[in-house]
Amino acid sequence: MNIFRLTGDLSHLAAIVILLLKIWKTRSCAGISGKSQLLFALVFTTRYLDLFTSFISLYNTSMKVIYIACSYATVYLIYMKFKATYDGNHDTFRVEFLVVPVGGLSFLVNHDFSPLEILWTFSIYLESVAILPQLFMISKTGEAETITTHYLFFLGLYRALYLVNWIWRFYFEGFFDLIAVVAGVVQTILYCDFFYLYITKVLKGKKLSLPAYISGSGRTRGKEPEGFCLMHLALSFFITLYKDFFTQRNLMLY
């Protein structure tokens, strides 16, 4: 195992621990998207089904079990134990617009047309966009708590380190997985401007604010941050998609 994969795994683990501690210590899941956490639970469940079929190493197995257990623990805290603090009014991203296309793509583009391979591919594609409900929620509220931004930073850092890991493996092991690399690039792009805002604002003690989403009346909510925002483009795309879909569906009813 190279240093980039190890630090990537540790960064991923740090993100999960930060989120769990945030919820447990504050006894609140305010500002956390339950839908993103459900998607991550689905990601780990479909990716690590090989726990029952193969053994690589104790480290590998342990990390898989930890990821699955922590993801479901987070979902439990949000939807069960601290359900009263969950802000469902702002967590309104329509996840079917992610799951359905990703599911179809995993059937069309994969390494091998077998159940485990299709589910693994599905998890790779889904992970690349699973954070969108969380970003959408922050965009609607206009800002994020500092601890939530730490969680997002380490989550983005994990994916960025894994991209370097793929480069390292290509040059030193001759291994290249196009599906994982493309999905990783997409996921990292969504975090690029977040990294900038995190370094220029959060690390200086300021609150992080994302571009406000455009409401149905065409008015923006909240203040726009400085600079160009790639996340804003992604969120705007899905907002437009929602509007077009429901407009067309309503027209078909008449």
pLDDT tens-digit readout, 202-216: 777 777 665 554 444
Backbone region of residue 214 per phi and psi (left: phi > 0; alpha: psi in -120 to 50; beta: other values): beta
| Nearest residue to 201 via CA among 144, 158, 156, 161 | 144
pLDDT at 195: 79
Residue 62 tokens read as: 């342990």
pLDDT tens-digit readout, 20-52: 999 999 999 999 999 999 999 999 999 999 998
* Structural domain contains residue 202: yes
Q: Give me the number of domains the chain comprises.
A: 1
* Structural domain contains residue 187: yes
* Structural domain contains residue 103: yes
Residue 120 belongs to domain spanning: 3-18+88-211+223-252
Distance between CA 36 and CA 130 in Å, rounded?
A: 6
* Structural domain contains residue 33: no
* Structural domain contains residue 150: yes
Positions in the chain short of pLDDT 50: 213-228, 246, 249-254
* Structural domain contains residue 71: no
* Structural domain contains residue 73: no
Distance between CA 114 and CA 24 in Å, rounded?
A: 40
